[in-house]
A = this chain, B = another copy of it.
């Protein structure tokens, strides 16, 4: 008998009507003979409301660890409510069901509060036995318990990670992430109407897509799925339970027979470019610069170094999120004498556009196709970075949509 883990996000459980629809889906799958664990998020809007209350109570001076433990207590209540409601809604349909909270399933976490990481489950919680006996386990997502016996949460989007962790622990055959889109697309359909739903995408591609701005799955949940080889499917919670709803499989590269060279085009406008002019060109300078950024919590993405005005001076360009860029600017101005640069320029009118595909590992010419397509549209490339399965370019933000459409066409991704 197949064991399946299903996860429903906030918009899928937004109110009693939507919860009732979710119960219909679960009942339909149970009737097909699947043994089920169902992970739920808080009703949409609820988490934001709770976060606001916690911030309001704490004021601006209670921060960090002094804030995070009680923040977790407040915010985790949202998933608790939904798990109880769905269990009741399933019983209404004659199913055996019960709710499971983080501490009840002993979802142990480490690294403190607010954005804890899952360490593992206790095996004696009874969860696995209950599922095996045919009771639907309705699990409050996003929450765990620390070694001190306190409530922890996994950070925003953490219910995806809960789902994959439960699927791994139960040795489930699949983990279905029900959400408000019907799968993973070749690119953002709002920009490119010809975007296509992918039938399959590899863990590695999904990781790049998740971290590059496609907000379908939380990055950590994809890492966890890859490490435990859990087959994950992204599909819509909106169609009728028996509707044709294939979604997108996120799976191992080996299971994808016909590999596309490029599977997706992603973009991010939340970028800033920092240029430091006239740095001394000697060993240790860039090490000092990026150590400083790391210490201040600035997440540096792309880096380019080039000589300028003769051999003894260099320019360094790097990118980070716009949110981080203000901090970077302040810190750098404060360290001008130590770092010894001549001037600085920060611009936030930039966007990062990337093409992603496992096929790149064995194919050449991807960069050429990409740069040619952008050149044809007169789009200037500012910075380039690459990985084994991805090429990213930084461009003027005004050209974002144009670039995405041009690349989508150039790599034959447009639906016919």
Interface residue ranges, A against B (CB under 8 Å): 16, 19-20, 50, 53-54, 56-59, 61-62, 66-67, 69-74, 76-78, 80-81, 83-89, 91-92, 98-99, 101, 103-104, 149-151
Q: CA separation between A69 and B89, bound complex, in Å?
A: 13
Can you report 26 residue pairs joining A to B where beta carbons are below 8 Å apart? A16-B56, A53-B85, A57-B85, A57-B88, A57-B89, A58-B88, A61-B92, A62-B88, A62-B91, A62-B92, A66-B91, A67-B88, A70-B85, A70-B87, A70-B98, A71-B84, A71-B88, A73-B83, A74-B81, A74-B84, A74-B85, A74-B88, A77-B80, A77-B81, A104-B149, A104-B150
Q: CA separation between A289 and B81, bound complex, in Å?
A: 43
Q: CA separation between A50 and B149, bound complex, in Å?
A: 26
Q: Which residues of B contact A101 (CB under 8 A)?
A: 73, 151
- Contact present for B91 and A73 (CB under 8 Å): no
Q: Which residues of B contact A83 (CB under 8 A)?
A: 73
Q: Which residues of B contact A61 (CB under 8 A)?
A: 92
CB-based nearest B residue for A16: B56
Q: CA separation between A165 and B83, bound complex, in Å?
A: 29
- Contact present for B81 and A69 (CB under 8 Å): no
Contact of A81 among B53, B56, B99 (CB under 8 A): B53
- Contact present for B57 and A92 (CB under 8 Å): yes
* Copies of this chain in the oligomer: 2
Q: Which residues of B contact A70 (CB under 8 A)?
A: 84-85, 87-88, 91, 98-99
Q: Which residues of B contact A50 (CB under 8 A)?
A: 81
Separation in Å of the A393 CB from the closest CB of chain B? 44
CB-based nearest B residue for A53: B85
Separation in Å of the A107 CB from the closest CB of chain B? 14
Q: CA separation between A62 and B84, bound complex, in Å?
A: 13
Q: Which 5 A-B pairs have the closest CB atoms?
A: A73-B84, A74-B84, A77-B77, A58-B88, A57-B85
Q: Residue among A67, A84, A87, A149 with the most chain B CB within 10 A?
A: A84
- Contact present for B98 and A53 (CB under 8 Å): no
Contact of A54 among B71, B72, B77, B84 (CB under 8 A): B84
Q: Which residues of B contact A62 (CB under 8 A)?
A: 88, 91-92
Q: Which residues of B contact A19 (CB under 8 A)?
A: 57
Q: Residue among A71, A74, A103 with the most chain B CB within 10 A?
A: A74
Q: Which residues of B contact A20 (CB under 8 A)?
A: 57
Q: Which residues of B contact A69 (CB under 8 A)?
A: 98
Q: CA separation between A59 and B57, bound complex, in Å?
A: 36
CB-based nearest B residue for A148: B126
Q: CA separation between A83 and B54, bound complex, in Å?
A: 11
Q: Which residues of B contact A67 (CB under 8 A)?
A: 88
Q: Which residues of B contact A73 (CB under 8 A)?
A: 80-81, 83-84, 87, 99, 101
Separation in Å of the A31 CB from the closest CB of chain B? 19
CB-based nearest B residue for A59: B92
Separation in Å of the A214 CB from the closest CB of chain B? 32
Q: CA separation between A337 and B37, bound complex, in Å?
A: 53
Q: CA separation between A66 and B95, bound complex, in Å?
A: 11
- Contact present for B16 and A88 (CB under 8 Å): no
Q: CA separation between A290 and B50, bound complex, in Å?
A: 50
CB-based nearest B residue for A50: B81
Q: Which residues of B contact A92 (CB under 8 A)?
A: 57-59, 61-62
Q: CA separation between A16 and B150, bound complex, in Å?
A: 24
Separation in Å of the A6 CB from the closest CB of chain B? 17
A16-B81 contact in complex given A88-B70, A98-B69, A98-B70, C-beta closer than 8 Å: no
CB-based nearest B residue for A78: B77
Separation in Å of the A223 CB from the closest CB of chain B? 30
